[in-house]
Structure 1
Amino acid sequence: MKIVVVGSVAAGTSAAAKARRNTEDAQITIYERDTDISYSGCGLPYYLGGEVESIDDLTPRDAAWFAQRYGVDVRTGHEVTGVDPYARTVRVRELATGETFTDTYDELVLATGVSPVVPPVPGVDRPGVFTLRNPRDARGVHAWLTDRDVTRVVVVGAGYIGLETAEQLVGRGLDVTVVEAQEHAMPRMDGDMSARVDAELRAHGVELLTRTRLVRVEGAGTPGSPGAPGEADPSGGVSAVVVQDADGERTLPADLVLVAVGVRPNLDLPRAAGATVGPTGAVAVDRQGRTDVPHVWAVGDVAESFDVITGEPTWVPLGSTANKMGRVAGDALTGGSLVHRGILGTSIVRVFDQAVAQTGLTEDRARAAGHDVVVVHNIKPDRPPYLGGREMLIKAVADRATGRLLGAQAIGPSGVDKRIDVLATAITYGATVDDLFHLDLAYAPTYATTKDPVHYTGMALDNAVRGSAPLLSPAELDRRRAAGEKIQVVDVRSAKDRAKGFVEGSVHIPLAELRARAGELDPTLPTVTYCNKGVTGNAGQNVLRNLGFTDVANLSGGNKNYQQFARTPHPPAG
């Protein structure tokens, strides 16, 4: 058998390695147009900031290593320019010489990956404007930072790469502005969570401009017109970017511009082979990586995956997914039975002092998929405060009818990775919210609380699903009040806590006085209780329900969550 793989990063090398593990009889060739293979693209921002000392640490394997370990012929600097699926041939150009040749295959694996999206605006091709997709890009940015007097950087795009790079460049002492077209940074998350990412960026000196688009990139001056914007800089480089928001255009000084607005699949070869592109814009494949063209496979970022919850095609280009897809295809094309079981889009990113993670459906996506959702905002420490525990916020989403856990998002300085992985595992195996309380999770006060944040999340969701302790989010409370609904909001905290801030329009009846003073409230009105984070609010909710109040909800995440929501710009309620 002759296997040809196009592309040598996560998916391509995984496919080749698994195929070799399955058989010694196959001839396996990888063609790669770049010079670096099997690199850690996710580590590139940390090289720019100095946390990774050498770019070589991110490129530990080369063609010679693969040849020795797996007997795989990796040919870097070779670009596959065409595919003939009927003759089962590929056309290859050796970039160093320009010579072309034809190679044959029995099985062809397309792992062509993605390319950065670059907005088609004037000046975006100037020296000093970079993307960050591969080690070559990182070397270019690093050299620009090292060789020039860079003090001001504009990062266009507030996704993973944009935020990681912003963090690292702030660490180098640079002034960083992040420009994002959407309402918040991390736009894949729900707005009430991504707003916390906004706040973290600004707290560390990043100028974050949301709902703002890049208009053009300007250079320095031309001879006879020193410093004139919009003209070529004879020494090369940029001087500013022009952006636009609802108030008009604005000029931002910049010595370096990093464009990180997203990526798109490299579809030239799949299309040349006749493979169908799916609804996500990536190549449609079955659960082993086959395209609809015989003997042609597509894996990694160029190919669609499948949503574990909905079963629908999805596309979330992550290295972890690419590795799995490559391994599955390498097994299947050599007679194995591995099947890709889909993804939840689980991800995590460090933004200064906060870990930001998500898995499964967001509240917005769950509603769009037709679920009647129950939402909890759970604020708990990762371990006891007496051993340095620090609070994290978990927002979890469940289906009201079935109780199935649908998704979670979490933000906090410590322990977020553990909780999001537990929740991702639970979702993968179809857990309902009541299952979460029964998980036998590791406990010691150096690592967790006796009831873990995951347990508390399940308990709150279960009570809400059963109707015994309904929850109301800050957004829903504001929406209903803005629509004219009369809701009595009861603050059950101490006077000391209330003095620090409260929900506008609320009445103050501390929990210890609630039984005696319940007659001050109207039991026929919808009622919302709240405390700082939710626990005492739930206690007040139970008191009122036991006294005959029929419609009592607890404010999800308490006053702490509400005040964060209230500080966040968002579309008017209703």
Structure 2
Amino acid sequence: MKIIIIGSVAAGTSVAAKARRNDENAEITVYNADYDISYSICGIPYFLGGGVDELKALTPRNAPWFKKRFNVDIFTRHEVTKVDAEQKKVTVKNLDTDEIKEDSYDTLVFATGATPITPNIPGVDKEHVFHVRTIQNTFAIDRYMQKNEPKKATIVGAGYIGLEMAEQLTQKGLEVTIIQRSNQVMPHFDKDMAFRVEEELLKHGVNLLLNEEASYISDNTVETKSGKVIESDLVILAVGVRPNTKLAKEIGAELGNTGAIAVNTKMQTNIPDVYAVGDVAESFSVITEKPIYRPLGSTANKMGRIAGDVITGGNLEHRGILGTGILRVFDFAVGQTGLNEKEARKEGYDIEVLHNLKPAKAEYLGGKELVIKAVADRASGRILGVQAVGEEGVDKRIDVFATAITFKAKAEDLFHLDLAYAPPFSTTKDPVLYTGMALQNAIEKKNKLITPQELTEQIEKGVKFQIIDTRSTKQYEVSHVVGAINIPHANLRSEANNLDPEIPTVTYCNKGVTGNAAQNVLRNMGFKNVYNLSGGNKNYQKFINN
């Protein structure tokens, strides 16, 4: 069997490695247009910020190493310019010598990756404007910074790479401005969680321009469509990537709704003996089973391993993804998995939403607040998605939630998880367990929840609520929900007779626990509709002030 793989990095090398492990006799060839066959794209910002000492640390494997380890022929700086699917041939150009040759295959794999999107802005071709995608990009940025010592940087785009670059360049001493065309950072986050990230950026001196678009780049400024002029001697473009589908389209490979190559669970395209993996290929959601495109190295590795196994007679299949991701933004870790609230509603789910504010570990050992937003389906009880922000404990919880969602866990299942506990690592009732308990109670309508956004929207529509602040008078006077009356929890039973049990009632405390207790008191006293404000006054104040 002769296997040709177009492209390398995470997906292409994974195909080759798995195919070789399964079949010692296969002839495996990789053609790669770039200089490097394997490198950590996600590690690039940390080299540029000084967290990684040497660039070669991001390129641990080269072609000779791969040849020696797996007996795979890898040709760098060789671009496949044409594929003849009927004759099963490829045309290859040596980019260093311009030599052209033909090669044949039994099985072909597209691992052509994705290319950074270049926005249509005059000046994007200037020498101080860079993408952050390849080792060559990285080397160019590093060389430019060493030579010119830039003081002010503008980043166009506020996704993962944009925010990581903002952190690293700020810590390197540059004044950083982010330009983002939408009204929030991190498009895959819900706005009521994204603004916490925005606060962290502002806290560390990053200038954040939302609802703005760069319109012109000069040698030392970036202008926006609204007329703002930002001094800048370094510009980073981070507006996303586009799958490299040109070769595949030319031979009739079908593209999916996302614009990437459509594949089945075995990574096969519609063309016999042609596969696609990694950032060029479309995946699907574990939850909705609909097409999804999330170009991540972790997904690329899985796809490559599956294809390499199937090609050599194995039976691995792709089981879909959740779009799980995490990044660090200064003191915060920011993570997500599954559907956000907006996506869940768009898919037609009747959802329950919880904002859970809890310490990541025992407060007497310095535990810091972790904010979890969880979304569940009321009909089935299934957890649909989670977002989390905090200084510690985010990665641990997101991984637990991702595992639970993958195995179709319900809210009630979370409470019964036997998670590791000791004060330096968690609380006796871990935030994951509390999330499950509170969501399940809400789903069963024992303890209904209402988010700050829902409460605000209902009031604006004219719905009348009696809103009870169960905290101390001193806390109430500092800040409270608009229209709320102050009845401290200790006085609630005696003063409940002054309330109308027929009017929809909202209870709240600072974060949610005492509000939940007050909710139970009123329910047991015959109040018809009692809601606990999700995330309490702390979450409400952040919502209305952003």
The TM-score by the shorter chain falls in which range?
Answer: over 0.9
Matched with 1:124 is 124
Matched with 1:241 is 222
Deviations 1:189-248 (A, max 9, x none): 111011111111001000000111110111xxxxxxxxxxxxxxxxxxx2101112xxx2
Matched with 1:471 is 449
**1:54 and 2:35 are equivalent in the alignment:** no
Matched with 2:191 is 191
| Counterpart-to-counterpart distance in 2, 1:539 and 1:558 | 12
Q: CA deviation at 1:8?
A: 0.9
Residues paired across the two proteins, number: 546
Matched with 1:310 is 288
Q: SS at the partner of 1:499?
A: helix
Matched with 2:36 is 36
**1:379 and 2:360 are equivalent in the alignment:** no
Q: CA deviation at 1:273?
A: 2.3
Letter matched to residue 182 of structure 1: S
| Counterpart-to-counterpart distance in 2, 1:308 and 1:149 | 46
Matched with 1:438 is 416
Letter matched to residue 503 of structure 2: L
Matched with 2:161 is 161
| Counterpart-to-counterpart distance in 1, 2:15 and 2:476 | 59
Matched with 1:294 is 272
Q: CA deviation at 1:149?
A: 3.0
Letter matched to residue 101 of structure 1: K
Matched with 1:500 is 478
Q: SS at the partner of 1:379?
A: strand
Q: SS at the partner of 1:249?
A: coil
Unaligned runs of 5+ in 2: none
Q: TM-score, normalised by structure 1?
A: 0.95
**1:348 and 2:326 are equivalent in the alignment:** yes
Q: SS at the partner of 1:480?
A: helix
Deviations 1:417-436 (A, max 9, x none): 00000000000001010000
Deviations 1:463-500 (A, max 9, x none): 00000000000000000001111111110011232233
Q: SS at the partner of 2:247?
A: helix
| Counterpart-to-counterpart distance in 2, 1:302 and 1:30 | 16
| Counterpart-to-counterpart distance in 2, 1:387 and 1:357 | 24
Q: SS at the partner of 2:464?
A: coil
RMSD over aligned Cα, in angstroms? 0.7
Q: SS at the partner of 1:544?
A: helix
Q: SS at the partner of 2:138?
A: helix
Alignment equivalent of 1:392, drawn from 370, 373, 379: 370
| Counterpart-to-counterpart distance in 2, 1:149 and 1:401 | 58
Q: SS at the partner of 2:75?
A: strand
Matched with 1:527 is 505
| Counterpart-to-counterpart distance in 1, 2:428 and 2:135 | 45
Matched with 1:223 is none
Matched with 1:137 is 137
Deviations 1:87-130 (A, max 9, x none): 00111000000011110000001000000001111111111000
Deviations 1:303-335 (A, max 9, x none): 001100001111111110000000000000000
| Counterpart-to-counterpart distance in 1, 2:474 and 2:106 | 75
| Counterpart-to-counterpart distance in 2, 1:338 and 1:499 | 61
Q: SS at the partner of 2:197?
A: helix
Percent identity for Structure 1 against Structure 2: 56
| Counterpart-to-counterpart distance in 2, 1:519 and 1:243 | 58
**1:101 and 2:101 are equivalent in the alignment:** yes
Map 1:310-459; keep pairs closer than 5 Å.
310-459=288-437
Letter matched to residue 429 of structure 1: F
Q: CA deviation at 1:413?
A: 0.5
Letter matched to residue 321 of structure 1: T
Q: CA deviation at 1:399?
A: 0.4
| Counterpart-to-counterpart distance in 1, 2:493 and 2:232 | 61
Q: SS at the partner of 2:422?
A: coil
Q: CA deviation at 1:274?
A: 1.4
Q: TM-score, normalised by structure 2?
A: 0.99
| Counterpart-to-counterpart distance in 2, 1:102 and 1:150 | 46
Letter matched to residue 26 of structure 1: A
Deviations 1:41-98 (A, max 9, x none): 0000000000011110000100000000000011101001110000001110000000
Matched with 2:110 is 110
**1:82 and 2:82 are equivalent in the alignment:** yes
| Counterpart-to-counterpart distance in 2, 1:466 and 1:267 | 47
| Counterpart-to-counterpart distance in 2, 1:518 and 1:455 | 31
Letter matched to residue 57 of structure 1: A
| Counterpart-to-counterpart distance in 2, 1:272 and 1:425 | 39
| Counterpart-to-counterpart distance in 1, 2:411 and 2:188 | 23
| Counterpart-to-counterpart distance in 2, 1:41 and 1:273 | 29
Q: SS at the partner of 1:342?
A: coil
| Counterpart-to-counterpart distance in 2, 1:334 and 1:214 | 49
Letter matched to residue 425 of structure 2: Y
| Counterpart-to-counterpart distance in 2, 1:129 and 1:181 | 18
Q: CA deviation at 1:3?
A: 0.4
Unaligned runs of 5+ in 1: 219-237, 569-574
